[in-house]
Structure 1
Amino acid sequence: MSKLLVVGSLHYDIMVAAHHRPEKGETVIGSGCSYKFGGKGGNQAVSAAQAGIEVVFSGAVGDDDHGKWLLEILNNHSVDTAHVEVIRGVASGMSVAITDAEGDYGAVVLSNANTQINSSQFANDALWENVGMVLLQNELPEQINLYTATEAKKRGIRVCINAAPAKTLSPELINLIDLLVVNGVEARDMSGITVNSLQNAAEAAQALSQLYSTVVVTAGEMGVAYADNNGESNTLEAEKIELVSTHGAGDCFMGMLCASILKGENLGVSVNNANKAAALHVSKKAD
Protein backbone atom coordinates (compact mmCIF):
# COMPACT_ATOMS: atom_id res chain seq x y z
CA MET A 1 0.00 0.00 0.00
CA SER A 2 1.25 3.50 -0.87
CA LYS A 3 2.18 5.96 1.84
CA LEU A 4 0.56 9.33 2.52
CA LEU A 5 2.93 12.29 2.78
CA VAL A 6 1.46 15.07 4.90
CA VAL A 7 3.17 18.44 4.57
CA GLY A 8 1.62 20.68 7.16
CA SER A 9 1.45 22.52 10.43
CA LEU A 10 2.05 21.35 13.98
CA HIS A 11 0.49 23.30 16.86
CA TYR A 12 0.40 23.05 20.61
CA ASP A 13 -3.29 23.75 21.23
CA ILE A 14 -4.69 25.45 24.32
CA MET A 15 -8.39 24.56 24.52
CA VAL A 16 -10.65 26.76 26.64
CA ALA A 17 -14.29 25.85 27.35
CA ALA A 18 -16.90 28.56 28.00
CA HIS A 19 -20.65 29.06 27.85
CA HIS A 20 -20.20 31.24 24.77
CA ARG A 21 -17.42 32.85 22.80
CA PRO A 22 -16.74 36.47 23.79
CA GLU A 23 -17.98 39.38 21.77
CA LYS A 24 -15.75 42.40 21.17
CA GLY A 25 -14.75 43.86 24.53
CA GLU A 26 -16.45 41.09 26.52
CA THR A 27 -14.81 39.00 29.25
CA VAL A 28 -16.23 35.50 29.65
CA ILE A 29 -15.64 33.19 32.61
CA GLY A 30 -14.36 29.85 31.34
CA SER A 31 -15.41 26.43 32.58
CA GLY A 32 -12.32 24.40 31.71
CA CYS A 33 -8.95 24.26 29.99
CA SER A 34 -6.94 21.49 28.33
CA TYR A 35 -3.84 21.16 26.18
CA LYS A 36 -3.92 19.18 22.95
CA PHE A 37 -1.90 18.11 19.96
CA GLY A 38 -2.92 20.16 16.95
CA GLY A 39 -2.27 21.82 13.65
CA LYS A 40 -4.25 20.69 10.63
CA GLY A 41 -1.27 18.82 9.26
CA GLY A 42 -0.58 17.01 12.51
CA ASN A 43 -4.21 16.11 13.16
CA GLN A 44 -4.71 14.84 9.62
CA ALA A 45 -1.55 12.76 9.76
CA VAL A 46 -2.64 11.10 13.01
CA SER A 47 -6.14 10.49 11.63
CA ALA A 48 -4.75 8.83 8.51
CA ALA A 49 -2.38 6.66 10.56
CA GLN A 50 -5.27 5.58 12.79
CA ALA A 51 -7.15 4.60 9.62
CA GLY A 52 -4.45 2.05 8.89
CA ILE A 53 -2.00 3.49 6.37
CA GLU A 54 1.67 4.48 6.53
CA VAL A 55 2.11 8.23 6.99
CA VAL A 56 5.19 10.39 6.53
CA PHE A 57 5.18 13.91 7.95
CA SER A 58 7.18 16.89 6.70
CA GLY A 59 7.14 20.10 8.71
CA ALA A 60 8.95 22.03 11.42
CA VAL A 61 8.91 22.60 15.16
CA GLY A 62 10.97 24.77 17.47
CA ASP A 63 13.64 23.47 19.83
CA ASP A 64 11.32 23.90 22.82
CA ASP A 65 9.35 21.57 25.06
CA HIS A 66 6.24 22.00 22.92
CA GLY A 67 8.18 20.84 19.86
CA LYS A 68 9.45 17.75 21.66
CA TRP A 69 5.93 16.92 22.77
CA LEU A 70 4.49 17.36 19.25
CA LEU A 71 7.08 14.97 17.81
CA GLU A 72 6.42 12.49 20.59
CA ILE A 73 2.70 12.41 19.77
CA LEU A 74 3.40 11.81 16.06
CA ASN A 75 5.83 9.01 16.88
CA ASN A 76 3.36 7.44 19.31
CA HIS A 77 0.88 7.19 16.41
CA SER A 78 3.50 5.59 14.13
CA VAL A 79 3.86 8.67 11.93
CA ASP A 80 7.32 8.90 10.35
CA THR A 81 8.93 12.13 11.65
CA ALA A 82 12.34 11.76 9.97
CA HIS A 83 11.55 14.78 7.78
CA VAL A 84 10.36 17.12 10.55
CA GLU A 85 12.95 19.85 11.06
CA VAL A 86 13.75 21.15 14.55
CA ILE A 87 14.63 24.86 14.24
CA ARG A 88 16.85 26.33 16.92
CA GLY A 89 15.79 29.55 18.63
CA VAL A 90 12.25 29.48 17.24
CA ALA A 91 9.01 28.72 19.08
CA SER A 92 6.82 25.85 17.94
CA GLY A 93 3.43 26.64 16.45
CA MET A 94 0.50 27.04 18.80
CA SER A 95 -3.15 28.00 18.93
CA VAL A 96 -5.79 29.06 21.43
CA ALA A 97 -9.32 27.78 20.82
CA ILE A 98 -12.56 28.57 22.64
CA THR A 99 -15.32 25.94 22.59
CA ASP A 100 -18.85 27.07 23.50
CA ALA A 101 -21.73 25.20 25.13
CA GLU A 102 -23.12 24.19 21.73
CA GLY A 103 -19.87 22.48 20.74
CA ASP A 104 -18.74 25.08 18.20
CA TYR A 105 -15.38 26.81 18.46
CA GLY A 106 -13.17 29.60 17.21
CA ALA A 107 -9.37 29.73 17.31
CA VAL A 108 -6.35 32.00 17.00
CA VAL A 109 -3.24 30.44 15.46
CA LEU A 110 0.42 31.43 15.82
CA SER A 111 2.38 29.67 13.06
CA ASN A 112 5.91 30.30 14.43
CA ALA A 113 8.21 27.45 13.24
CA ASN A 114 5.66 26.32 10.66
CA THR A 115 6.57 29.29 8.45
CA GLN A 116 10.24 28.29 8.31
CA ILE A 117 10.11 24.89 6.65
CA ASN A 118 13.12 24.35 4.39
CA SER A 119 11.72 23.95 0.86
CA SER A 120 14.87 22.23 -0.45
CA GLN A 121 13.85 18.99 1.27
CA PHE A 122 11.07 18.43 -1.27
CA ALA A 123 13.61 17.71 -4.02
CA ASN A 124 14.97 14.80 -1.96
CA ASP A 125 13.89 11.50 -3.53
CA ALA A 126 14.04 9.77 -0.12
CA LEU A 127 11.09 11.85 1.04
CA TRP A 128 8.91 10.50 -1.78
CA GLU A 129 9.75 6.80 -1.50
CA ASN A 130 6.54 4.74 -1.86
CA VAL A 131 4.36 7.86 -1.50
CA GLY A 132 1.04 7.63 -3.37
CA MET A 133 -0.51 10.93 -2.34
CA VAL A 134 0.55 14.20 -0.74
CA LEU A 135 -1.82 16.10 1.55
CA LEU A 136 -1.54 19.88 1.96
CA GLN A 137 -3.44 22.57 3.89
CA ASN A 138 -3.47 26.38 3.96
CA GLU A 139 -1.79 26.76 7.36
CA LEU A 140 1.61 26.83 5.64
CA PRO A 141 2.91 29.54 3.29
CA GLU A 142 1.66 28.87 -0.24
CA GLN A 143 5.22 28.76 -1.53
CA ILE A 144 5.82 25.62 0.52
CA ASN A 145 2.67 24.03 -0.89
CA LEU A 146 3.72 25.01 -4.40
CA TYR A 147 7.21 23.49 -4.00
CA THR A 148 5.66 20.30 -2.62
CA ALA A 149 2.99 19.97 -5.30
CA THR A 150 5.52 20.64 -8.07
CA GLU A 151 7.83 17.89 -6.85
CA ALA A 152 4.87 15.52 -6.40
CA LYS A 153 3.75 16.05 -9.99
CA LYS A 154 7.27 15.41 -11.29
CA ARG A 155 6.92 11.95 -9.75
CA GLY A 156 3.33 11.30 -10.84
CA ILE A 157 1.99 11.57 -7.28
CA ARG A 158 -1.54 12.80 -6.57
CA VAL A 159 -1.95 16.12 -4.78
CA CYS A 160 -4.78 16.73 -2.33
CA ILE A 161 -5.30 20.05 -0.57
CA ASN A 162 -7.60 20.85 2.31
CA ALA A 163 -7.87 24.57 1.53
CA ALA A 164 -8.35 25.67 5.12
CA PRO A 165 -8.29 28.33 6.30
CA ALA A 166 -9.79 29.95 3.21
CA LYS A 167 -7.43 31.98 1.05
CA THR A 168 -6.94 32.71 -2.62
CA LEU A 169 -4.78 30.07 -4.31
CA SER A 170 -2.42 30.97 -7.11
CA PRO A 171 -3.14 29.67 -10.63
CA GLU A 172 0.18 27.79 -10.47
CA LEU A 173 -0.93 25.82 -7.41
CA ILE A 174 -4.48 25.28 -8.69
CA ASN A 175 -3.09 23.60 -11.81
CA LEU A 176 -1.24 21.05 -9.67
CA ILE A 177 -4.17 19.98 -7.45
CA ASP A 178 -6.01 16.69 -8.07
CA LEU A 179 -8.40 16.81 -5.12
CA LEU A 180 -9.73 19.90 -3.34
CA VAL A 181 -11.54 19.51 -0.01
CA VAL A 182 -13.26 22.51 1.64
CA ASN A 183 -15.98 23.18 4.18
CA GLY A 184 -19.04 25.31 3.55
CA VAL A 185 -17.40 28.62 4.47
CA GLU A 186 -14.34 27.92 2.36
CA ALA A 187 -16.51 26.74 -0.54
CA ARG A 188 -18.49 29.98 -0.37
CA ASP A 189 -15.35 32.11 -0.37
CA MET A 190 -13.89 30.19 -3.32
CA SER A 191 -17.03 29.75 -5.44
CA GLY A 192 -19.26 32.67 -4.45
CA ILE A 193 -22.09 30.23 -3.61
CA THR A 194 -23.50 30.44 -0.08
CA VAL A 195 -23.66 26.95 1.39
CA ASN A 196 -26.75 26.78 3.59
CA SER A 197 -28.14 23.48 2.29
CA LEU A 198 -26.82 20.21 0.91
CA GLN A 199 -28.03 21.29 -2.53
CA ASN A 200 -25.95 24.47 -2.25
CA ALA A 201 -22.95 22.34 -1.27
CA ALA A 202 -23.45 20.29 -4.43
CA GLU A 203 -23.70 23.45 -6.52
CA ALA A 204 -20.48 24.80 -4.99
CA ALA A 205 -18.70 21.50 -5.63
CA GLN A 206 -19.83 21.50 -9.25
CA ALA A 207 -18.75 25.12 -9.74
CA LEU A 208 -15.31 24.48 -8.23
CA SER A 209 -14.86 21.34 -10.33
CA GLN A 210 -14.48 23.65 -13.32
CA LEU A 211 -11.09 24.60 -11.85
CA TYR A 212 -10.15 21.47 -9.88
CA SER A 213 -10.28 17.86 -11.09
CA THR A 214 -12.25 16.63 -8.08
CA VAL A 215 -13.92 18.61 -5.29
CA VAL A 216 -15.41 17.60 -1.93
CA VAL A 217 -17.47 20.10 0.08
CA THR A 218 -18.21 19.22 3.70
CA ALA A 219 -21.32 20.95 5.01
CA GLY A 220 -21.36 20.03 8.70
CA GLU A 221 -24.69 18.81 10.01
CA MET A 222 -26.14 18.92 6.47
CA GLY A 223 -23.76 16.38 4.97
CA VAL A 224 -21.16 16.34 2.21
CA ALA A 225 -21.15 16.83 -1.57
CA TYR A 226 -18.61 15.94 -4.21
CA ALA A 227 -18.11 16.50 -7.93
CA ASP A 228 -15.47 16.03 -10.61
CA ASN A 229 -14.74 17.69 -13.93
CA ASN A 230 -16.25 14.74 -15.82
CA GLY A 231 -19.69 15.76 -14.59
CA GLU A 232 -20.05 13.15 -11.85
CA SER A 233 -21.55 14.49 -8.61
CA ASN A 234 -23.33 13.18 -5.54
CA THR A 235 -24.36 14.11 -2.00
CA LEU A 236 -24.43 12.26 1.31
CA GLU A 237 -26.54 13.31 4.25
CA ALA A 238 -24.84 13.71 7.61
CA GLU A 239 -24.90 10.83 10.04
CA LYS A 240 -27.46 11.20 12.85
CA ILE A 241 -25.45 11.83 16.02
CA GLU A 242 -25.52 13.73 19.29
CA LEU A 243 -22.95 16.51 18.93
CA VAL A 244 -20.28 16.87 21.60
CA SER A 245 -17.77 19.13 19.83
CA THR A 246 -16.98 19.98 16.21
CA HIS A 247 -13.28 20.49 17.05
CA GLY A 248 -11.08 18.39 14.76
CA ALA A 249 -13.96 17.03 12.66
CA GLY A 250 -12.53 18.28 9.38
CA ASP A 251 -9.09 16.85 10.11
CA CYS A 252 -10.61 13.47 10.99
CA PHE A 253 -12.53 13.57 7.70
CA MET A 254 -9.36 14.35 5.73
CA GLY A 255 -7.31 11.58 7.29
CA MET A 256 -9.92 8.92 6.61
CA LEU A 257 -10.62 10.23 3.10
CA CYS A 258 -6.97 10.01 2.04
CA ALA A 259 -6.47 6.65 3.76
CA SER A 260 -9.49 5.17 2.02
CA ILE A 261 -8.36 6.42 -1.39
CA LEU A 262 -4.87 4.99 -0.86
CA LYS A 263 -6.43 1.66 0.07
CA GLY A 264 -7.96 1.60 -3.41
CA GLU A 265 -11.52 2.69 -2.68
CA ASN A 266 -13.31 4.93 -5.19
CA LEU A 267 -14.23 8.51 -4.34
CA GLY A 268 -17.84 7.77 -3.33
CA VAL A 269 -16.86 5.01 -0.90
CA SER A 270 -14.00 7.10 0.45
CA VAL A 271 -16.25 10.12 1.08
CA ASN A 272 -18.76 7.87 2.83
CA ASN A 273 -16.05 6.37 5.03
CA ALA A 274 -14.76 9.85 5.90
CA ASN A 275 -18.29 11.08 6.63
CA LYS A 276 -18.86 8.25 9.10
CA ALA A 277 -15.46 8.75 10.75
CA ALA A 278 -16.08 12.47 11.26
CA ALA A 279 -19.53 11.80 12.72
CA LEU A 280 -18.06 9.39 15.24
CA HIS A 281 -15.36 11.92 16.10
CA VAL A 282 -17.76 14.77 16.90
CA SER A 283 -20.11 12.60 18.95
CA LYS A 284 -17.62 11.32 21.52
CA LYS A 285 -15.74 12.95 24.32
CA ALA A 286 -12.27 14.13 23.38
CA ASP A 287 -9.32 12.31 24.99
Structure 2
Amino acid sequence: MTRTSHAVVVGSLHYDIVVKAPHRPAAGETVTGSRWHPAFGGKGGNQAVAIVTAGVPCRMVAALGDDDFGSFLLRHLEARQVDTTYVETLSDSGSGMSVAIMDASGDYGAVIVSGSNLRIDPATLDQDELWQDASLLVLQNEVLESLNIAAARAARTRNIQVVLNAAPARPISDEMAGLVDILVVNAGEAEALCDISVENLGSARHAAAALASRFRIVVVTAGGAGVAVAGTEGAHSEPSHKVKLVSTHGAGDCFIGTMVASLARGVSLASSVAEANLAAARHVSAEK
Protein backbone atom coordinates (compact mmCIF):
# COMPACT_ATOMS: atom_id res chain seq x y z
CA MET A 1 0.00 0.00 0.00
CA THR A 2 1.63 3.21 -1.10
CA ARG A 3 -1.20 5.67 -0.47
CA THR A 4 -3.99 6.19 1.97
CA SER A 5 -6.90 3.90 1.18
CA HIS A 6 -10.27 3.07 2.67
CA ALA A 7 -11.03 0.61 5.41
CA VAL A 8 -14.18 -1.48 5.67
CA VAL A 9 -15.58 -2.53 9.05
CA VAL A 10 -18.14 -5.32 9.26
CA GLY A 11 -19.40 -5.54 12.79
CA SER A 12 -21.43 -4.57 15.78
CA LEU A 13 -23.19 -1.46 17.04
CA HIS A 14 -24.35 -1.25 20.65
CA TYR A 15 -26.18 1.38 22.65
CA ASP A 16 -24.07 1.32 25.81
CA ILE A 17 -25.36 2.11 29.27
CA VAL A 18 -22.26 2.85 31.34
CA VAL A 19 -22.59 2.62 35.14
CA LYS A 20 -19.93 3.93 37.53
CA ALA A 21 -19.62 2.00 40.80
CA PRO A 22 -17.03 1.48 43.55
CA HIS A 23 -16.57 -2.11 42.40
CA ARG A 24 -18.21 -4.66 40.17
CA PRO A 25 -20.79 -6.84 41.94
CA ALA A 26 -20.05 -10.38 43.01
CA ALA A 27 -22.67 -13.09 42.58
CA GLY A 28 -25.82 -12.08 44.44
CA GLU A 29 -24.42 -8.68 45.44
CA THR A 30 -26.13 -5.33 44.92
CA VAL A 31 -23.75 -2.39 44.54
CA THR A 32 -24.78 1.27 44.76
CA GLY A 33 -23.39 3.18 41.81
CA SER A 34 -22.60 6.89 41.57
CA ARG A 35 -23.86 7.70 38.06
CA TRP A 36 -24.74 6.31 34.66
CA HIS A 37 -24.72 7.65 31.13
CA PRO A 38 -25.56 6.44 27.62
CA ALA A 39 -22.72 6.00 25.13
CA PHE A 40 -22.06 4.93 21.57
CA GLY A 41 -20.61 1.43 21.46
CA GLY A 42 -20.11 -1.91 19.82
CA LYS A 43 -16.61 -3.00 18.86
CA GLY A 44 -17.37 -2.56 15.17
CA GLY A 45 -18.70 0.95 15.58
CA ASN A 46 -15.94 2.03 17.94
CA GLN A 47 -13.26 0.75 15.58
CA ALA A 48 -14.85 2.45 12.57
CA VAL A 49 -14.92 5.76 14.44
CA ALA A 50 -11.33 5.28 15.57
CA ILE A 51 -10.21 4.68 11.98
CA VAL A 52 -11.85 7.90 10.78
CA THR A 53 -10.54 9.82 13.80
CA ALA A 54 -7.06 8.69 12.77
CA GLY A 55 -7.62 10.21 9.33
CA VAL A 56 -8.65 7.30 7.08
CA PRO A 57 -12.05 6.95 5.36
CA CYS A 58 -14.13 4.01 6.57
CA ARG A 59 -17.29 2.28 5.40
CA MET A 60 -19.32 0.24 7.85
CA VAL A 61 -21.53 -2.78 7.29
CA ALA A 62 -23.97 -3.21 10.20
CA ALA A 63 -27.63 -3.53 11.17
CA LEU A 64 -29.74 -1.48 13.58
CA GLY A 65 -33.25 -1.77 14.92
CA ASP A 66 -35.91 0.78 14.04
CA ASP A 67 -35.81 2.25 17.55
CA ASP A 68 -34.39 5.13 19.57
CA PHE A 69 -31.18 3.23 20.25
CA GLY A 70 -30.66 2.72 16.52
CA SER A 71 -31.31 6.39 15.74
CA PHE A 72 -28.76 7.42 18.38
CA LEU A 73 -26.12 5.06 16.97
CA LEU A 74 -26.69 6.10 13.37
CA ARG A 75 -26.46 9.80 14.23
CA HIS A 76 -23.18 9.21 16.02
CA LEU A 77 -21.65 7.39 13.04
CA GLU A 78 -22.73 10.12 10.67
CA ALA A 79 -21.45 12.88 12.94
CA ARG A 80 -18.02 11.16 13.00
CA GLN A 81 -18.10 10.88 9.18
CA VAL A 82 -18.21 7.10 9.01
CA ASP A 83 -19.82 6.05 5.71
CA THR A 84 -23.18 4.53 6.73
CA THR A 85 -24.37 3.61 3.23
CA TYR A 86 -24.27 -0.07 4.18
CA VAL A 87 -25.82 0.22 7.66
CA GLU A 88 -29.33 -1.29 7.44
CA THR A 89 -32.26 -0.44 9.70
CA LEU A 90 -34.51 -3.44 10.44
CA SER A 91 -38.17 -2.94 11.33
CA ASP A 92 -38.53 -6.26 13.15
CA SER A 93 -35.46 -6.32 15.38
CA GLY A 94 -34.18 -4.32 18.34
CA SER A 95 -30.79 -2.63 18.21
CA GLY A 96 -27.87 -4.17 20.03
CA MET A 97 -27.13 -2.81 23.49
CA SER A 98 -24.84 -3.35 26.45
CA VAL A 99 -24.48 -2.51 30.12
CA ALA A 100 -20.93 -1.76 31.27
CA ILE A 101 -20.03 -1.42 34.94
CA MET A 102 -16.90 0.66 35.52
CA ASP A 103 -15.19 0.36 38.89
CA ALA A 104 -13.14 2.88 40.88
CA SER A 105 -9.87 1.64 39.34
CA GLY A 106 -11.09 2.44 35.81
CA ASP A 107 -11.53 -1.19 34.79
CA TYR A 108 -14.90 -2.56 33.67
CA GLY A 109 -17.03 -5.55 32.81
CA ALA A 110 -19.94 -5.63 30.39
CA VAL A 111 -22.95 -7.62 29.25
CA ILE A 112 -24.09 -7.32 25.63
CA VAL A 113 -27.44 -8.11 24.01
CA SER A 114 -26.72 -8.60 20.32
CA GLY A 115 -30.13 -7.91 18.79
CA SER A 116 -29.86 -6.69 15.19
CA ASN A 117 -26.11 -7.40 15.10
CA LEU A 118 -26.97 -11.06 14.48
CA ARG A 119 -29.03 -10.15 11.42
CA ILE A 120 -26.54 -8.30 9.21
CA ASP A 121 -27.30 -9.29 5.61
CA PRO A 122 -24.35 -11.16 4.00
CA ALA A 123 -25.66 -10.14 0.56
CA THR A 124 -24.40 -6.62 1.27
CA LEU A 125 -20.87 -7.98 0.92
CA ASP A 126 -21.44 -8.73 -2.77
CA GLN A 127 -21.64 -5.04 -3.68
CA ASP A 128 -18.45 -3.98 -5.45
CA GLU A 129 -18.93 -0.34 -4.41
CA LEU A 130 -18.45 -1.37 -0.78
CA TRP A 131 -14.88 -2.44 -1.51
CA GLN A 132 -13.83 0.38 -3.82
CA ASP A 133 -10.37 1.75 -2.85
CA ALA A 134 -10.34 -0.46 0.27
CA SER A 135 -7.15 -2.09 1.49
CA LEU A 136 -8.20 -3.45 4.89
CA LEU A 137 -11.24 -5.24 6.30
CA VAL A 138 -11.78 -5.19 10.07
CA LEU A 139 -13.84 -7.88 11.84
CA GLN A 140 -14.73 -8.71 15.46
CA ASN A 141 -16.54 -11.52 17.29
CA GLU A 142 -19.72 -9.61 18.18
CA VAL A 143 -21.36 -10.88 14.98
CA LEU A 144 -21.84 -14.40 13.64
CA GLU A 145 -18.71 -16.21 12.48
CA SER A 146 -20.54 -17.13 9.27
CA LEU A 147 -20.79 -13.41 8.48
CA ASN A 148 -17.10 -12.90 9.28
CA ILE A 149 -16.18 -15.76 6.96
CA ALA A 150 -18.32 -14.33 4.15
CA ALA A 151 -16.77 -10.90 4.62
CA ALA A 152 -13.24 -12.28 4.74
CA ARG A 153 -13.81 -14.30 1.58
CA ALA A 154 -15.15 -11.23 -0.23
CA ALA A 155 -12.10 -9.25 0.87
CA ARG A 156 -9.63 -11.94 -0.07
CA THR A 157 -10.99 -12.18 -3.62
CA ARG A 158 -10.21 -8.45 -3.94
CA ASN A 159 -6.71 -8.67 -2.40
CA ILE A 160 -7.82 -6.81 0.72
CA GLN A 161 -6.11 -7.62 4.03
CA VAL A 162 -8.27 -9.09 6.79
CA VAL A 163 -7.85 -7.96 10.40
CA LEU A 164 -9.73 -9.99 13.04
CA ASN A 165 -10.15 -8.68 16.56
CA ALA A 166 -11.13 -11.94 18.23
CA ALA A 167 -13.23 -10.25 20.91
CA PRO A 168 -15.12 -11.43 22.79
CA ALA A 169 -13.22 -14.71 22.95
CA ARG A 170 -14.74 -17.73 21.22
CA PRO A 171 -13.35 -20.70 19.27
CA ILE A 172 -12.11 -19.78 15.79
CA SER A 173 -12.68 -22.34 13.06
CA ASP A 174 -9.84 -23.41 10.79
CA GLU A 175 -11.74 -21.87 7.90
CA MET A 176 -11.85 -18.48 9.61
CA ALA A 177 -8.23 -18.71 10.73
CA GLY A 178 -7.12 -19.37 7.17
CA LEU A 179 -8.70 -16.12 5.99
CA VAL A 180 -7.10 -13.86 8.61
CA ASP A 181 -4.00 -11.77 7.84
CA ILE A 182 -3.68 -10.05 11.22
CA LEU A 183 -5.15 -11.38 14.48
CA VAL A 184 -5.46 -8.91 17.38
CA VAL A 185 -6.27 -10.17 20.88
CA ASN A 186 -5.91 -8.92 24.43
CA ALA A 187 -4.48 -10.94 27.31
CA GLY A 188 -7.69 -12.77 28.17
CA GLU A 189 -8.53 -13.56 24.55
CA ALA A 190 -4.99 -14.81 23.90
CA GLU A 191 -5.22 -17.17 26.88
CA ALA A 192 -8.59 -18.47 25.68
CA LEU A 193 -7.08 -19.30 22.27
CA CYS A 194 -3.73 -20.79 23.30
CA ASP A 195 -3.95 -21.59 27.04
CA ILE A 196 -1.03 -19.29 27.89
CA SER A 197 -1.65 -16.89 30.76
CA VAL A 198 -0.59 -13.37 29.73
CA GLU A 199 0.60 -11.54 32.84
CA ASN A 200 3.53 -9.50 31.51
CA LEU A 201 5.31 -8.61 28.27
CA GLY A 202 7.31 -11.84 28.26
CA SER A 203 4.22 -14.03 28.43
CA ALA A 204 2.57 -11.81 25.79
CA ARG A 205 5.48 -12.58 23.46
CA HIS A 206 5.12 -16.29 24.27
CA ALA A 207 1.37 -16.22 23.49
CA ALA A 208 1.90 -14.28 20.26
CA ALA A 209 4.49 -16.82 19.10
CA ALA A 210 2.18 -19.73 19.95
CA LEU A 211 -0.75 -18.21 18.06
CA ALA A 212 1.51 -17.41 15.09
CA SER A 213 1.59 -21.14 14.37
CA ARG A 214 -2.01 -20.75 13.27
CA PHE A 215 -2.27 -17.11 12.12
CA ARG A 216 0.02 -15.20 9.75
CA ILE A 217 0.50 -12.19 12.05
CA VAL A 218 -0.55 -11.98 15.70
CA VAL A 219 -0.75 -8.87 17.88
CA VAL A 220 -1.26 -9.42 21.62
CA THR A 221 -2.12 -6.35 23.67
CA ALA A 222 -1.23 -6.83 27.33
CA GLY A 223 -2.70 -3.69 28.87
CA GLY A 224 -0.26 -1.94 31.16
CA ALA A 225 2.54 -4.35 30.18
CA GLY A 226 2.66 -3.39 26.49
CA VAL A 227 2.14 -5.16 23.19
CA ALA A 228 3.77 -8.13 21.43
CA VAL A 229 3.80 -9.07 17.73
CA ALA A 230 4.77 -12.35 16.10
CA GLY A 231 4.40 -13.89 12.65
CA THR A 232 5.70 -13.81 9.12
CA GLU A 233 7.11 -10.29 9.53
CA GLY A 234 9.19 -11.30 12.54
CA ALA A 235 8.66 -10.81 16.27
CA HIS A 236 8.94 -7.70 18.39
CA SER A 237 7.42 -6.07 21.42
CA GLU A 238 7.29 -2.74 23.17
CA PRO A 239 6.35 -1.69 26.68
CA SER A 240 3.33 0.43 27.47
CA HIS A 241 3.50 4.17 27.97
CA LYS A 242 3.26 5.13 31.62
CA VAL A 243 0.11 7.20 32.18
CA LYS A 244 -2.44 7.86 34.91
CA LEU A 245 -5.30 5.42 34.29
CA VAL A 246 -8.76 6.95 34.08
CA SER A 247 -10.67 4.21 32.23
CA THR A 248 -9.77 1.21 30.07
CA HIS A 249 -13.18 1.33 28.34
CA GLY A 250 -12.69 1.38 24.55
CA ALA A 251 -8.89 1.19 24.67
CA GLY A 252 -8.69 -1.92 22.52
CA ASP A 253 -10.93 -0.40 19.85
CA CYS A 254 -8.79 2.75 19.84
CA PHE A 255 -5.68 0.58 19.40
CA ILE A 256 -7.13 -1.35 16.47
CA GLY A 257 -8.58 1.69 14.71
CA THR A 258 -5.29 3.57 14.96
CA MET A 259 -3.26 0.58 13.79
CA VAL A 260 -5.54 -0.03 10.80
CA ALA A 261 -5.48 3.65 9.81
CA SER A 262 -1.70 3.66 9.95
CA LEU A 263 -1.48 0.51 7.82
CA ALA A 264 -3.88 2.09 5.30
CA ARG A 265 -1.45 4.98 4.95
CA GLY A 266 1.28 2.52 3.96
CA VAL A 267 3.14 2.54 7.29
CA SER A 268 4.98 -0.62 8.36
CA LEU A 269 3.36 -3.02 10.81
CA ALA A 270 5.91 -2.29 13.55
CA SER A 271 5.41 1.48 13.27
CA SER A 272 1.62 1.07 13.05
CA VAL A 273 1.61 -0.97 16.27
CA ALA A 274 3.79 1.63 17.99
CA GLU A 275 1.44 4.42 16.92
CA ALA A 276 -1.57 2.43 18.16
CA ASN A 277 0.15 1.69 21.48
CA LEU A 278 0.63 5.42 22.07
CA ALA A 279 -2.95 6.25 21.03
CA ALA A 280 -4.34 3.63 23.44
CA ALA A 281 -2.23 5.09 26.28
CA ARG A 282 -3.67 8.52 25.60
CA HIS A 283 -7.16 7.04 25.47
CA VAL A 284 -7.01 5.32 28.86
CA SER A 285 -5.65 8.46 30.51
CA ALA A 286 -8.25 10.84 29.04
CA GLU A 287 -11.24 12.05 31.02
CA LYS A 288 -14.41 10.65 29.43
TM superposition score category, shorter chain reference: over 0.9
Q: Which consecutive segments of 4 or more residues in structure 1 shift more than 4 A? A: none
Q: 1:158 aligns with which of 153, 161, 185?
A: 161
Q: 2:112 aligns with which of 109, 113, 116?
A: 109
**Deviations 1:159-199, CA, capped at 9 Å, x for gaps:** 00000001111111110000000000111111111111100
Q: 2:85 aligns with which of 82, 87, 92?
A: 82
Instruction: Indicate whether 1:266 and 2:277 are aligned.
Output: no
Residue in 2 that maps onto 1:10: 13
Instruction: Indicate whether 1:125 and 2:128 are aligned.
Output: yes
Q: Extract unaligned runs of 5+ from structure 1.
A: none
Instruction: Indicate whether 1:279 and 2:261 are aligned.
Output: no
Task: Give the counterpart letter for 1:253 in structure 2.
Answer: F
Residue in 1 that maps onto 2:44: 41
Q: Extract unaligned runs of 5+ from structure 2.
A: none
Residue in 1 that maps onto 2:177: 174
Structure 1 length as normaliser, TM-score? Answer: 0.98
Residue in 2 that maps onto 1:32: 35
Q: 1:185 aligns with which of 185, 188, 191?
A: 188
Task: Give the counterpart letter for 1:30 in structure 2.
Answer: G
Q: Percent identity?
A: 49
Q: Report the secondary structure of 1:30's partner residue.
A: coil
| Aligned residue pair count | 285
**Deviations 1:19-44, CA, capped at 9 Å, x for gaps:** 00000010000011011000000000
**Deviations 1:141-171, CA, capped at 9 Å, x for gaps:** 0000000001111111100000000111111
Q: Give the Cα–Cα distance (whole angstroms) in 1 for the partners of residues 74 and 59 of structure 2.
A: 12
Task: Give the counterpart letter for 1:127 in structure 2.
Answer: L
How much has 1:121 moved relative to structure 2?
1.0
How much has 1:229 moved relative to structure 2?
3.0
Q: Give the Cα–Cα distance (whole angstroms) in 2 for the partners of residues 217 and 103 of structure 1.
A: 21
Q: Give the Cα–Cα distance (whole angstroms) in 2 for the partners of residues 42 and 98 of structure 1.
A: 20
How much has 1:45 moved relative to structure 2?
0.5
Instruction: Indicate whether 1:98 and 2:98 are aligned.
Output: no
Q: Give the Cα–Cα distance (whole angstroms) in 2 for the partners of residues 156 and 251 of structure 1.
A: 24
Q: 1:208 aligns with which of 191, 211, 219?
A: 211
Structure 2 length as normaliser, TM-score? Answer: 0.98
Q: Report the secondary structure of 1:271's partner residue.
A: helix
How much has 1:89 moved relative to structure 2?
2.2
